[in-house]
Amino acid sequence: MKLFSIQRVALCACAVMALLSCNKSNNTVHDQAVGGTPEKGDWIIIHQLSDPEGLNPITTSDAGARNVFSKIFEPLLDVDYATGELTPNIATAMPTLSPDHLTYTFTLKKNVTFSDGKPLSAKDVVFTLKAVKNPLLIDGAALRNYYESLVDVTAPDDYTVVMTLNKPYFIADAVLGNNVPVFPKHIFDPKNLTDGYTFAETNSLDKAQANASMKEFAEWFGAAERKRDVKTMIGSGPYILEEWRTGEFIRLKRNDKYWNGSNNPNTVSYPDKLVYKTVNDRNTALTTMKNGDLDFIEYMPPKLYVESLDTTAVPFLKKTSYIYPVYSYIGWNAARPMFADKRTRQGLSHLVDRDRLIKSIALGYAKPTSSPVDFHRPEFDKDLPVYDYNPEKAKKLFAEAGWNDSDGNGILDKVIDGKKVEFSFTFMVNQGNEMRQNIAIILRDEFKKVGIDVKVQPIDWSVFLENSKGHQFDAYIGAWVQDPQPPDLFQLFHSSQIANRGSNYVSFNNKRADELIESIRLEFDTQKRTAMLKELQRVISDEQPYTFLWNVINPAVHHKRIQGVKFYMPRPGYNPNEWWVPKGMQKYN
């Protein structure tokens, strides 16, 4: 989901000054001719709005974390940035598949090593999936739902891995090969605790709770330090975690012993270091960039981008924009009685003037959407009904749902469980995200016109995530990143993902939706699956657990000394590994 926060900090100690200040301070730069030979060296300083919740790919689910940990850890299969297609990475080829779609066999390359020099083998793959499957690992719930049908993983030899499912899964190759990177067992399981339980035990909560090894491993692996400790954050990727200063920066250094060299275009690594600098105010971030202390801002609020970024005044900066595979939405917590009736949620959607918001807040840098399915994909239902801005229709729906102003105080009310409840709620937004705060403020004023009392509560990103996972909110404004593979909506909309910190934050529970989601996972016929996905989109549209807003067009800016800047459909939409700086313009030691 998306998602990010810092005060600008004056770094004084020379060791820290090396991060941002011990450089050739001249920002003068001339436009470079397209082409040229990429050169290694320099640092790329990338803006992030807040620290990620962690960098452990199994227990961390926010998009900002993925941007970083994808440089440290690697999966068996990669997604080619240019095509969006799955390609072999640690695996020598795509998996061999049994005719019944239940057995996937991967063969591993023999030259893969982790950044500490230890070889990567089949036992590391087995360990990784045992970690994913451990049901006592609470923060792994969002990832684990994709592996519910995985019943066994074996390693006949050091370079062969056989994965067995108990039912077919239409995107199993992507889930098994690309969804989770391979962890080093010698680092993340030093006591060999995962040897003390079987895959069969991971499929039973009762057996898991009775197994001391599973409990101890879940406690150790799920600890906060396992999300960020430099000593244990070891992967096989092209970069290594060098330092993380909370609220300041995360710094990665190039793995000069990287096993894959320049063989994979996704993992070339020209910059010596990638630095993700936290600045939780975007105005401050722009000032920081104008001062030369940031090289790339992946998203800038359109108003700031249009009105405050004059590249004639700062000619060393370049404006650009790209379509980011993400949709924004408003989530209504159906577990709260006031949002339990779908007519209430439908009415709220009719109070959202998306066209006005796109013009006034997004300044046209957005495309309206009405579905969680990427509009580029053939499964997207172009005929979905649009919840147009229609206050009169909203009032009618509210009345049908039992809302009226019984005491004449200007606020709608309703008797729920024998008690009169006023239609009053709080919008939760992440601090520093000006666009979401502005959306909430405009909607607050719009809702007030029909008798709904709304408060806007900006909170720190980490608290925002915790409240979302714990369903501790009325409504929030969020976003989800979309992958190029065929869509599986289980994680967000299946009722099983309400509990145990799953990603169904809005407590959406619909029997037909569950049936369709489960059937889609089993269907390999593209036409049949597409028909079911379109029906599922119609069910979701009718129920309105989300008010869908738009797909994002990201206004972005980068320093002109950075060469090779390209944008792609797979998340996060760009690959800083392949960016480079001509020797004469390199500024960081």
For the stretch 361-371, pLDDT in tens is 999 999 999 99
Query: Helix, strand or coil for residue 214?
Result: helix
Closest CA to 481 of 374, 384, 574, 557: 374
CB 66 within 8 A of CB 250: no
Q: Phi and psi dihedrals of 242, rounded to 5? A: -95, -40
What's the DSSP call for residue 119?
B
The average confidence (pLDDT) of the chain is 91
CB 517 within 8 A of CB 489: yes
Q: For tokens 């080619």, name the residue.
A: 80
Query: Helix, strand or coil for residue 461?
Result: helix
Q: How many CA atoms lie within 13 A of 69 on its CB side?
A: 30
> What pLDDT score does 239 carry?
97
> What pLDDT score does 423 carry?
98
Q: What is the largest CA-CA distance in the chain?
A: 75
Q: For tokens 């004449």, name the residue.
A: 408
Q: Count of CB atoms within 10 A of residue 166's CB?
A: 12
> What pLDDT score does 63 carry?
83
> What long-range pairs does 492-501 form, CB within 8 A, spacing at least 24?
492/372, 493/372, 493/517, 493/536, 493/540, 493/545, 494/145, 494/518, 496/145, 497/141, 497/142, 497/145, 498/335, 498/471, 500/138, 500/141, 501/138, 501/139, 501/141, 501/142, 501/469, 501/470
> What pLDDT score does 265 carry?
65
> What long-range pairs does 362-366 form, CB within 8 A, spacing at least 24?
362/302, 362/435, 362/550, 363/302, 363/303, 363/305, 363/306, 364/302, 365/302, 365/305, 365/321, 365/552, 365/553, 365/554, 365/555, 366/328, 366/549, 366/550, 366/551, 366/552, 366/553
Residues in the chain: 589
What are the structure tokens assigned to 255, written together? 């793995």
Residues in CB range of 463: below 8 A, 6 or more apart:
none
User: Is the peptide bond between 572 and the residue preceding it cis, with omega within 30 degrees of 0?
Assistant: yes
Closest CA to 201 of 134, 126, 128, 124: 134
Give average pLDDT by consecutive 10-residue segment, the chain, 589 residues.
30 33 42 69 96 94 90 95 91 97 98 97 98 95 92 98 97 95 97 96 93 97 93 96 97 95 74 97 96 96 94 96 91 97 98 96 94 92 93 98 97 96 97 93 97 97 94 97 87 94 96 98 96 98 98 94 93 92 92
Q: Count of CB atoms within 10 A of residue 489's CB?
A: 19
**Dihedral angle sign, alpha carbons of residues 164, 169, 170, 172:** negative
Cα 589 from Cα 575, distance rounded (Å): 22
Cα 497 from Cα 140, distance rounded (Å): 12
> CB-based burial of residue 525 (10 Å sphere; 0-12 exposed, 13-18 middle, 19+ buried)?
exposed
CB 253 within 8 A of CB 272: yes
CA-CA distances (angstroms) from residue 185 to 127, 454, 536? 6, 49, 40
CB 110 within 8 A of CB 160: no
Summarised one tens digit per residue, pLDDT across range 350-390 is 999 999 999 999 999 999 999 999 988 899 999 998 899 99
Q: Count of CB atoms within 10 A of residue 528's CB?
A: 12
Cα 475 from Cα 345, distance rounded (Å): 11
Query: Helix, strand or coil for residue 546?
Result: strand
Cα 568 from Cα 558, distance rounded (Å): 16
Summarised one tens digit per residue, pLDDT across range 32-88 is 444 589 999 999 999 999 999 899 999 997 888 999 999 999 999 999 888 889 999
> What pLDDT score does 263 carry?
62
> What pLDDT score does 35 carry?
59
